[in-house]
Amino acid sequence: MINWTYEGKSVVNFPAPDFNKHYGFIYEIEYTNGQKYVGKKSFWSITKKNLTKKEIEALPSQRMKKWKYVARENKMERIQRLKQIDK
């Protein structure tokens, strides 16, 4: 069984994160042999997406960039939101 601790106290229930305020979290795993692993989990991913033909035609100048940045929710958060809706 995995024991989660925060500031030296055992954690049983995690509060639901506010996805609009928080970017993600950092965690540390300590193995029995003394090695440590530090990782991060982001609630959002930001990717570059090419514009559609209609969006390109609507640009005021054809010299403008043909892509945009899009932020989307990670799969884990989408699944958690669907579970909350089902309750």
Taking the domains of the chain in order of start, what are their residue ranges? 4-86
44 Cβ contact list (under 8 Å, min separation 6): 19, 23, 24, 71, 72, 73, 74
Report residue 46's pLDDT band, with 50, 70 and 90 as the boundaries: confident
Answer for the pair 4, 20: CB distance below 8 angstroms, yes or no: no
pLDDT at 49 over 80: yes
Q: Average pLDDT, stretch 75-82? A: 68
Quote the pLDDT of residue 50: 92
Q: Average pLDDT, stretch 34-42? A: 88
pLDDT at 68 over 60: yes
pLDDT at 81 over 70: no
Q: Average pLDDT, stretch 55-84? A: 79
